[in-house]
Amino acid sequence: MGDKVLAVSIVYLTCHFAFNVILSAFAGATEGVIFKHRIGQISANHTIQVTPSGPTFMIWNFIYLWLLAAYLYLTANIFRSTGEASGKRYCSPPIFGRWVTWVLILNAFFYTAWLFIWDNQWMTAAASFLTLIAISNWVALIIFSVSLWNNVVILKTEAPIDLILHRVLIQNGFGMYTTWTTIASLINIAVALVYDGKLEDPVPSLIALAFLSVLIALWVPLEFFFWDNYFRYLLTPLFVVLWALSGIHVEQTRNVELISESVRDYTLILMIITGILIIGKIILTIYRHVKRPLYIGLSTVA
């Protein structure tokens, strides 16, 4: 038997995600239809010293496509049987469960609201909602990753392809979305400090970079060493950080006379450190995959 509440929740989440993608397309390509301004134009009118170059925001296209694949996979699982009496693939085992789904539904409402708040150029409110988006993403990602680990042996034994799809489509897809919205929220907070708080740049830009440094310093040891079971195959976050920092660096290079040396140097150093961490993550993941498989000594009871 299936979990009808979970099934309905997954279908609704998929539909709300599709709705948000359509809204985002209108926000990015039109003005005066649904939204008063193009989303990119608002960003261009509220630049700071850590605003990325325009092409950097193309990452949204990858995020939308990646998450669309994840949601279509989750929806398809509603109709897939496990071949056992226990029920359907989406809830047997219950990896993408009710709490993850409900948190992401709340996240979808935050995103919808953010689009309209940003369109009205309410920078402080926009920063608040983007922060809520990032926080809810982290909550969902952590709950899902713990649930995936708790059921990893079942999937490895009964549905190894589904284990790969859970890691690639869902975990890494939401890892990309979570990291990008985290960085975007830091930049949005800095924008609010400049344009609403009247705090002179480069202080807000340095604050944004400092908070990003702290988050990296906190997350990397946890992911690399303490939470390896949960996040060993989560690879997208550091790549997203490098992408964002590279976009910021490119824009700073184009407008070098407008950017303080401290912000330029901080961005470049953080970018180099992130590149080194990516290499370390890849080497560590390959080594552990070969020498320390996750499944040794585990049973389906665990």
Q: What domain range is 51 assigned to?
A: 4-291
Beta bridge partners of 74: none
Does residue 162 lie within any of the structural domains? yes
24-49: average pLDDT: 89
37-49: average pLDDT: 91
Does residue 19 lie within any of the structural domains? yes
Percent of the chain with pLDDT over 70: 95
At which residue do the structure tokens 């708080």 appear? 197
Question: Residue 171 has what DSSP assignment?
Answer: I
Does residue 286 lie within any of the structural domains? yes
Decide: helix, strand or coil at residue 42.
Answer: helix
Does residue 114 lie within any of the structural domains? yes
Question: Does the pLDDT of residue 300 top 70, yes or no?
Answer: no
Torsion of CA 65, 77, 169, 171, to 10 degrees: 130
Please write the tens of the pLDDT for every residue from 87-140. 777 777 889 889 999 999 999 999 999 999 999 999 999 999 999 999 999 999
At which residue do the structure tokens 């490119």 appear? 250
Please write the tens of the pLDDT for every residue from 195-218. 999 999 899 999 999 999 999 999
User: pLDDT higher for 116 or 294?
Assistant: 116
CA 277 to centroid of chain Cα atoms: 18
* Integer CA distances (angstroms), 48 to 54, 121, 204, 282, 298, in order: 13, 15, 8, 33, 50
Does residue 168 lie within any of the structural domains? yes
Contact 110, 132 (CB under 8 A): yes
Report the distance separating Cα 77 and Cα 7, nearest Å: 9
32-55: average pLDDT: 90
User: pLDDT higher for 300 or 228?
Assistant: 228
**Domains in the chain: how many in total?**
1
Question: Is the whole model's pTM more than 0.95, yes or no?
Answer: no
For the chain, the average pLDDT equals 91
Does residue 296 lie within any of the structural domains? no
* Integer CA distances (angstroms), 269 to 38, 57, 132, 273, in order: 33, 22, 29, 6
Question: Does the pLDDT of residue 60 top 90, yes or no?
Answer: yes
Does residue 259 lie within any of the structural domains? yes
Report the distance separating Cα 282 and Cα 271, nearest Å: 17
pLDDT the model gives residue 84 = 62
Does residue 302 lie within any of the structural domains? no
CB under 8 Å to 65, separation ≥6 — which residues? none
Report the distance separating Cα 39 and Cα 54, nearest Å: 12
Report the distance separating Cα 66 and Cα 76, nearest Å: 15
CB under 8 Å to 138, separation ≥6 — which residues? 178, 182
Question: Does the pLDDT of residue 83 top 90, yes or no?
Answer: no
pLDDT the model gives residue 203 = 94
Question: 83's torsion region: left (phi>0), alpha (psi -120 to 50) or beta?
Answer: left
Question: 225's torsion region: left (phi>0), alpha (psi -120 to 50) or beta?
Answer: alpha
Beta bridge partners of 125: none
